[in-house]
Amino acid sequence: MTVLTGTGLHKRYGNLHVLDDVGFTAAAGEAIGIVGPNGAGKTTLLNVLAGSVTPDSGTVRLGGDDVTRSGPQIRCRRGIGRAHQIPRPFGGMTVLENVLVGATYGAGLRGRAAHRHGIEVLRRCELLDLADRRAETLGLLHRKRLEMARAVATGPRVLLLDEIGAGLTDAEAAELVTTIRDLVAAGITVVWIEHIVHVLLQVVDRLICMDAGKVIADGEPTAVLRDAVVVDAYLGKGR
């Protein structure tokens, strides 16, 4: 069953054709990686799927409904969660309070139900021990975890992750892999932009490669990485 679809997506900034007839589908429970050189249009695609950028043309469908003109808050309530590349927690709030924002405004929970849900999300995202810590005191790994936990707290069908591994050590990224795998196993569809390909490959069952606003490959990860067009555009001819 398809949960999220983008069809014929175009986005221009001035003369720059950032999305050039991009098509995208995600089936329920899939884990999809998106790779490509800097400036390929990956984050713009995520923005268009999440609703923070409106495409010039094309449609986005969530579970069959056209959400192209719906803003990010509406899409969030309807099941698209998003973790940004640079985590921006509410610094003066505790870790639990941050997650409760997602539970309240995204999942529509109140009172004890929101609290119970928030605790469960912190457990799944391995932040329970830090529930009462002020978010501004967290190190990068825990900030990344909190960025993801806030999105998970909204109760997403689809979780969009933008370079969640960036800036982490290999050991830290490996810890995140375990958490993301658990989310996929729990039935959440994950769409993950990441430059650290070996980390991505531990989670995803499909890989999309973008270059200059176009999808240049989409399929089984090892096949995509061997594709001559992908090697040329992204991995370098020397490999």
Residue from 9, 30, 43, 78 touching ligand ATP (CB under 6 A): that is 43
Query: In 101-172, where do the E strands start and end?
Result: 158-162
Contact segment (CB under 6 A) with ligand ATP among 36-44, 75-83, 102-110, 165-173 equals 36-44
**Which amino acid does the sequence have at 25?**
T
Query: Could you tell me the smallest distance in angstroms from the CB atom of residue 45 to ligand ATP?
Result: 7
Residue from 8, 16, 137, 170 touching ligand ATP (CB under 6 A): that is 16
Query: Could you tell me the smallest distance in angstroms from the CB atom of residue 160 to ligand ATP?
Result: 12
- C-alpha distance from residue 130 to each of 60, 82, 84, 125, 165 (Å): 37, 22, 21, 11, 20
Query: Could you tell me the smallest distance in angstroms from the CB atom of residue 34 to ligand ATP?
Result: 8
Q: How many residues bind ligand ATP (CB under 6 A)?
A: 11
User: Cβ(206)–Cβ(32) under 8 Å?
Assistant: yes
Q: Does 50 bind ligand ATP (CB under 6 A)?
A: no
Residue from 8, 13, 113, 140 touching ligand ATP (CB under 6 A): that is 13
Q: Does 209 bind ligand ATP (CB under 6 A)?
A: no
Q: Does 83 bind ligand ATP (CB under 6 A)?
A: no
Query: Could you tell me the smallest distance in angstroms from the CB atom of residue 204 to ligand ATP?
Result: 17
Q: Which residues contact 188 (CB under 8 A, 6 or more apart)?
A: 29, 152, 156, 157, 158, 159
Residue from 29, 39, 63, 167 touching ligand ATP (CB under 6 A): that is 39
Q: Does 38 bind ligand ATP (CB under 6 A)?
A: yes
- C-alpha distance from residue 92 to each of 73, 134, 143, 160 (Å): 22, 6, 13, 25
* Cα(59)–Cα(55) distance, integer angstroms: 8
Contact segment (CB under 6 A) with ligand ATP among 13-21, 74-82, 112-120, 122-130 equals 13-21
Residue from 3, 4, 9, 18 touching ligand ATP (CB under 6 A): that is 18
Query: Could you tell me the smallest distance in angstroms from the CB atom of residue 13 to ligand ATP?
Result: 3
Q: Does 40 bind ligand ATP (CB under 6 A)?
A: yes
Q: Does 41 bind ligand ATP (CB under 6 A)?
A: yes
* Cα(85)–Cα(93) distance, integer angstroms: 20
Q: Can you tell me which residue has the tokens 């509410």?
A: 90
Backbone angles phi, psi at 135, to 5 degrees: -60, -30
- Quick one: CA dihedral 184, 64, 72, 209, positive or negative? positive
Tokens representing residue 63 in the block: 């579970």
Which chain residues interact with ligand ATP by CB under 6 A? 13, 16, 18, 36, 38-44
